[in-house]
Amino acid sequence: LERLTGRYLELSRGRRAELSPADPLEIVRDVVRVEEAAFAREDVVVQVSGDAGGVGELDVDAARRALRNVLLNAVEAGAGTVHIAVNRDGPIVRITVEDDGPGMTQTAVSQAFDPFFTTKTQGTGLGLAISRQELEDVGGDLRCDATSASGSTFSIDVPVV
């Protein structure tokens, strides 16, 4: 209950961007390295590609948390392969996470970012909601761009100065 309450409070509070110099592509590679054991345990192959234009000032924590959340959701959903593309478009770095899991129903897509909505037996339904709110608070976004019977695609937009 305490953990759940803490996560709910995170969602209700706005946060300010905490900018640090970082290379978005290296942030993605680092998150993948940290979660390597989880991927190996579930036989998930993660591929990273792209060019984010080198070092820029961005909210590293918001980007890391959103990416980790989306990646672990893909693993828990049963993806076998996850492709992450990192690209910069002016003041935005877009991290696209595409998996070959079972996909999501239209209902799940429309409610994915609603607090307490979950399709997991052990989930709280706060991970995506909090990640999206954190990104919006710093001028970014998190969305589900495409889904089908054979996978899902999420985009994480992080502002870069």
pLDDT at residue 142 greater than cutoff 80:
yes
pLDDT at residue 3 greater than cutoff 70:
no
Q: Which runs of E-coded beta strand occur in 38-150?
A: 45-51, 56-59, 81-89, 92-99, 141-148
pLDDT at residue 97 greater than cutoff 90:
yes
| Contact in structure between 101 and 70 (CB atoms under 8 Å) | no
Predicted confidence band of residue 53 (pLDDT cuts 50, 70, 90): confident
Q: What is the pLDDT of residue 126?
A: 79
pLDDT digits 0-9 by tens, 112-130: 988 887 777 777 777 899 8
Average pLDDT value over all residues in the chain = 89
Residue 14 CA: distances (Å) to CA of 60, 80, 133, 154: 17, 35, 8, 23
Distance CA 98, CA 89 (A): 19
Say what percent of the chain tops pLDDT 90: 61
pLDDT at residue 11 greater than cutoff 70:
no
160 vs 7 pLDDT, higher one:
160
Give, for 21, the enclosing helix (H) or strand (E).
Answer: strand 19-22
Q: Which runs of E-coded beta strand occur in 52-150?
A: 56-59, 81-89, 92-99, 141-148
